[in-house]
Chain A
């Protein structure tokens, strides 16, 4: 059993806070403040990435016509508001970059790992509060550099978020030089931020659990965030190394990825995807964890098969490191290696389906409360299933040969990362907003937001499967160039209109979020009647979290325990027998 050790030098005393303003709100070492800072940062980039997507969709739906309001763009991007092919490639690149590195990843780990881990394990703060502060403040230069690309000569990176060499190596191939260098620097700094955060999450979970918080009493959200942090620790350095070599190729004239000097273009793909596939799980495991907490709460039932759920997280994480080659089936890699990677990839369906069936098992014979977080968790579950199943098509090498690099893949990744990760992030934001800010978000607006998002999300992304089956390549500026794609253009227009409505559907969320910050109904301590430790604290919890280190008596999912008056039983409430004995 781990006793709660106080982080050295933190000098935390719950409830007593004499930090100056700048230490409290700006350069704060408090994990809760850092989590909230990450929240604002990631929502900003979510909006930025979303707006880029709208421009992409305009071009695909209505190729060659001026973007409404696009006349403010400089001629190098869109003369007369009509997007240039070079700018289109930049849009595609930066949409992926913003969403993956600066929106979804910080939203899931930056926000929820920071905010929830210490609260849920009964710790006063993270193990390394100053590292934690750095992990946020490094995201500012990283994000700034990523944005800066749009303002330099030659434009921003345009080789895709996957930056395949040699396209990304030299301005000869894209016309982009400074922009690609800025991209590399941004991602390397992002990587440093991610590593500082991860080392912190891992150490905190191992060392700072409150008495009684055994491993098998950890909430699944903490399990998922813990294993995600290990994934990031192992995968992100590979990305950093690969990008530093790319940077050397660009600015020092090395030839790591250039065959003219003995380099290997496929080396980049191996390194990138050795990071890139674990990255996919970095983006989905926390979502699975958050959703597990919310589904148990909404169903008022213990999580079905908790030990298997933990094992499945571990299984997915492990398999995540031996499947990277499935991104390279048609790359020219040895086809026999393709067979190996197909086998390991197919196996991912096993732990994944365990999770899906266990979530269903959790709802089975429950007493399901349809609060807004639960609606979003159900949205996650139903959409993630589609993303998971569509993955099997790509895992089958012969089928991948046809749908690789097509809109089928675009549909798949968006079912996983939007239908999966983002619905889970919305569930998380609605769920923990009252704890974070001491006020509740409006339920009615939340329902409207969920319903609209769910509908337009599907209308946007489901038809992309059809485009992919029609052979529609991804990342092409103008599909009407190809006779075989011309009949698909009505689908492209339909998707574009749906996408505009999908963005519009986020207005109720934005309004609700910002209004509730100031005008929302005051939140009680435990509005969702949840068992986890953060719900024993005031909303928002004070600096230093717990006045006295809590003791944990049971797992976090003891809902509807027979013989109890209420349908929940907090982790820190002593067992009745023990209490009566006093």
Chain B
């Protein structure tokens, strides 16, 4: 049973995880210290007949110590986080030759436009898919997120990446997949009745497989997936969806 992070599959996912573990160890130590201290005090200083509590109003030295230590810790954490954050999110630090991908989101589907062999968007060989993204392992990608209606959030757990898509804005997010395989893309911002089933797949191919896939698209293989794929409720046993009529 897997009850922890999904295995990392992006270039910066390891850095994100590393910061997580640093914080986990620090907060874990503080947790043990505080809760342990609390337990010791509760046992040691429990009410006893004939005992009087100490008449103490404080201790400046102790207070300075437990003000300074947390301050130093959190400032270091902020510095540590800042480096990774700006590498992932600051457009000034995006890889220059990243392959663009257009992701236009609407209730409740991902409309994904991938460049053809020319590596550019808005050309004739663009490949369009709903709820399906094909990538080549080890390449940098820059996803241009736009939304048609409400706010959605582009979340690939294995890449440790989350970025909202906001109507009226074009937001770019980048990543480099480091493992081949099939990964989930989910919407993580409440976006309406069908929010829970805004599922898409990210396929990360090896260079050869990717070239083969791209060639098949150019040959007119399965370039246009049926629109029904996104709208079919994937019921799990009960009823699947509510007022579908009101939403589209």
Q: Which of A350-393 contact B (CB under 8 A)?
A: 350, 353-354, 356-358, 360-361, 363-370, 378, 381-382, 385-386, 389-390, 392-393
Known A164-B151, A339-B86: A301·B56 in contact at CB below 8 Å: yes
The reply to whether the CB of A507 lies closer than 8 angstroms to some CB of chain B is: no
Residues B27 and A389 in contact, CB atoms below 8 Å apart = yes
Residues B155 and A79 in contact, CB atoms below 8 Å apart = no
Q: A562–B64 Cα gap in the complex (Å)?
A: 27
Residues B85 and A63 in contact, CB atoms below 8 Å apart = no
The 6 sampled A-B contact pairs (Cβ below 8 Å) are A86-B193, A332-B171, A336-B86, A346-B75, A366-B54, A471-B155
Q: Contact check: which of A342, A406, A560 meets B85 at CB < 8 Å?
A: A342
Known A84-B239, A331-B166: A382·B35 in contact at CB below 8 Å: yes
Q: Contact check: which of A66, A300, A396 meets B77 at CB < 8 Å?
A: A396
Residues A330 and B184 in contact, CB atoms below 8 Å apart = no
Q: Contact check: which of A308, A356, A360, A404 meets B58 at CB < 8 Å?
A: A308
With both chains docked as a complex, state the minimum distance between the C-beta of B173 and any C-beta of chain A, in angstroms: 9
Q: Contact check: which of A86, A404, A476, A480 meets B243 at CB < 8 Å?
A: A86
Residues A89 and B19 in contact, CB atoms below 8 Å apart = no
Contacts of A406 in B (CB 8 A): 188
Q: Which 5 A-B pairs have the closest CB atoms?
A: A259-B168, A64-B238, A86-B242, A471-B157, A305-B58
Q: A559–B20 Cα gap in the complex (Å)?
A: 43
Q: Contact check: which of B2, B27, B67 meets A470 at CB < 8 Å?
A: B2
With both chains docked as a complex, state the minimum distance between the C-beta of A420 and any C-beta of chain B, in angstroms: 14
Residues A167 and B74 in contact, CB atoms below 8 Å apart = no
Residues B34 and A385 in contact, CB atoms below 8 Å apart = yes
Q: Which of A56-88 contact B (CB under 8 A)?
A: 63-66, 79, 82, 84-88
Residues B162 and A405 in contact, CB atoms below 8 Å apart = yes
Q: Which of B71-90 contact A (CB under 8 A)?
A: 71, 73-75, 77-78, 80-82, 84-86, 88-90
With both chains docked as a complex, state the minimum distance between the C-beta of A471 and any C-beta of chain B, in angstroms: 4
Q: A305–B64 Cα gap in the complex (Å)?
A: 11
Q: A350–B242 Cα gap in the complex (Å)?
A: 47
Residues B6 and A392 in contact, CB atoms below 8 Å apart = no
The reply to whether the CB of B234 lies closer than 8 angstroms to some CB of chain A is: yes
Q: How many of chain B's residues have a CB under 8 angstroms from any CB in A?
A: 102
Residues A475 and B149 in contact, CB atoms below 8 Å apart = no
Residues B56 and A63 in contact, CB atoms below 8 Å apart = no
Residues B241 and A361 in contact, CB atoms below 8 Å apart = no
Contacts of B242 in A (CB 8 A): 84-87, 175
Residues B195 and A476 in contact, CB atoms below 8 Å apart = yes
The reply to whether the CB of B215 lies closer than 8 angstroms to some CB of chain A is: no
Residues A369 and B47 in contact, CB atoms below 8 Å apart = yes
Q: A302–B53 Cα gap in the complex (Å)?
A: 9
Contact with B along A202-219 (1 / 0, CB 8 A): 000000000000000000
With both chains docked as a complex, state the minimum distance between the C-beta of B160 and any C-beta of chain A, in angstroms: 5
Residues of A within 8 A of B (CB): 63-66, 79, 82, 84-89, 92, 158-160, 164, 166-167, 171-175, 259-260, 263-266, 299-302, 304-308, 330-332, 335-336, 338-339, 342-343, 346-347, 349-350, 353-354, 356-358, 360-361, 363-370, 378, 381-382, 385-386, 389-390, 392-393, 395-399, 401-402, 404-406, 466, 469-471, 473-484, 487-488, 490-491, 559-562, 567
Q: A264–B151 Cα gap in the complex (Å)?
A: 11
Contact with A along B23-55 (1 / 0, CB 8 A): 110110011001101100110011110011111
The reply to whether the CB of B246 lies closer than 8 angstroms to some CB of chain A is: yes
Given A164-B189, A173-B191, 6 extra CB contacts under 8 A: A330-B164, A354-B63, A396-B20, A398-B15, A470-B3, A481-B196
Q: A392–B188 Cα gap in the complex (Å)?
A: 21
Residues B239 and A363 in contact, CB atoms below 8 Å apart = no
With both chains docked as a complex, state the minimum distance between the C-beta of B240 and any C-beta of chain A, in angstroms: 8
Q: A84–B155 Cα gap in the complex (Å)?
A: 24
The reply to whether the CB of B235 lies closer than 8 angstroms to some CB of chain A is: yes
Q: A238–B46 Cα gap in the complex (Å)?
A: 47
Interface centre among B26, B30, B88, B91 (most CB of A within 10 A): B30
Interface centre among A84, A300, A360, A367 (most CB of B within 10 A): A367
Q: Contact check: which of B167, B191, B197 meets A481 at CB < 8 Å?
A: B197
The reply to whether the CB of B132 lies closer than 8 angstroms to some CB of chain A is: no
Residues B78 and A342 in contact, CB atoms below 8 Å apart = yes
With both chains docked as a complex, state the minimum distance between the C-beta of A161 and any C-beta of chain B, in angstroms: 10
The reply to whether the CB of B232 lies closer than 8 angstroms to some CB of chain A is: no
Known A64-B237, A368-B45, A399-B19: A381·B74 in contact at CB below 8 Å: no
Known A361-B62, A392-B27: A302·B34 in contact at CB below 8 Å: no
Known A86-B242, A470-B2: A342·B189 in contact at CB below 8 Å: no
Residues A405 and B188 in contact, CB atoms below 8 Å apart = yes
With both chains docked as a complex, state the minimum distance between the C-beta of A96 and any C-beta of chain B, in angstroms: 11
The reply to whether the CB of B133 lies closer than 8 angstroms to some CB of chain A is: no
Residues B150 and A166 in contact, CB atoms below 8 Å apart = yes
Residues A481 and B195 in contact, CB atoms below 8 Å apart = no
Residues A475 and B85 in contact, CB atoms below 8 Å apart = no
Residues B56 and A381 in contact, CB atoms below 8 Å apart = no
Interface centre among A307, A354, A368 (most CB of B within 10 A): A368
Interface centre among B15, B70, B88, B240 (most CB of A within 10 A): B70
Contacts of A89 in B (CB 8 A): 190, 192-193, 195
With both chains docked as a complex, state the minimum distance between the C-beta of B114 and any C-beta of chain A, in angstroms: 22
The reply to whether the CB of B57 lies closer than 8 angstroms to some CB of chain A is: yes
Q: A354–B63 Cα gap in the complex (Å)?
A: 7
Q: A172–B188 Cα gap in the complex (Å)?
A: 20
Contact with A along B80-119 (1 / 0, CB 8 A): 1110111011110000000000000001000000000000
